[in-house]
Structure 1
Amino acid sequence: MLIVCPHCASLNRVPPERLQHDPQCGSCHQALFTGHPVELSDAHFERFVAKSELPVIVDFWAPWCGPCRMMAPQFEQAAALLKGRAVLAKVNSDDNPQASVRHRIRSIPTLLMFRGGQEAKRQSGVMPAQELVRWAGV
């Protein structure tokens, strides 16, 4: 499977049976899966989402948003639960307006799941970690 490194954005080929064994990037030698959400910006959003063969779940949020702050610990917990099965990422809508506009984000928090670079699911509002894991279906 192709995995985009969250640290240096290089592509890594990882056998599916090794996904649960903490693989490291071949370029920067850092962990490909940290169990924490990855911060994405407009600059590398499309590459990260399009090149990853694992599902990518993106939380569009803003620091001033109360529900977003309520969602943050749930999303963090879900990232740990889905480690090696999906990549969870966050996009600050205020700092990265291009990604928000491109994906028609009208309210926050909004979760988008991408498979093969294409939007597969969308959900707005706060969601507990266990429900998010069920929603992901991976």
Structure 2
Amino acid sequence: MSKSLVLACPQCLALNRVATERLNDNPSCGKCSSAMLPEAPLELTSANYEALVVRSELPIVIDFWASWCGPCKTMGPIFNGVAAEMGTRMRFAKIDTEAQQALAGRFGIRSIPTLMVMKKGQELARQAGVMQVGQLKQWLAPHTV
């Protein structure tokens, strides 16, 4: 019997059960037909955080950033590139610390960029500062599906 994961749709937030061996097949939402694992990182807000992070079973790496932050501008393309490459083994998302201050405050974010890996709402790892592609992949490896 194959293992499956519950994932929330990034568009309609409906919960979908997806077999792990189908994660590479670009699964779509059973309710709205949107891609369940888009290549671009998801934008997390207080409105979608619960469904996309807490109720979804696929690990998620979150980039806490701000538009005025120089190191965040350096980290952005690196994060987006790794998201496009590894996006079927974990979800990638961003939290704009200026627009989502309460969400950033909930995690005690003191410096940006800060990356955090979570699964079912539990923090598994945290790293502040810019990482190069190889460093980021190595840091994420233990948490991928």
Q: TM-score band, normalised by the shorter chain? A: over 0.9
Using the alignment, how far apart are the partners of 1:82 and 1:51 within structure 2? Answer: 21
Using the alignment, how far apart are the partners of 1:12 and 1:79 within structure 2? Answer: 21
Gaps of 5+ in 2: none
State the match for 1:120 in structure 2.
124
Using the alignment, how far apart are the partners of 1:125 and 1:42 within structure 2? Answer: 24
| Match runs of 1:57-136 below 5 Å | 57-136=61-140
CA RMSD of aligned residues (A): 1.0
Secondary structure (helix, strand or coil) at the match of 2:57 reads coil
**Percentage of pairs with the same residue:** 43
What TM-score does the superposition give when structure 2 sets the normalisation length? 0.91
Superposition deviation, residue 47 in structure 1: 2.6
Which stretches of structure 1, 4 residues or more, deviate above 3 A after TM superposition?
none
Gaps of 5+ in 1: none
Deviations 1:14-61 (A, max 9, x none): 011101100001111011111110011122213311111111100000
What TM-score does the superposition give when structure 1 sets the normalisation length? 0.96
Using the alignment, how far apart are the partners of 1:46 and 1:92 within structure 2? Answer: 16
Using the alignment, how far apart are the partners of 1:66 and 1:34 within structure 2? Answer: 26
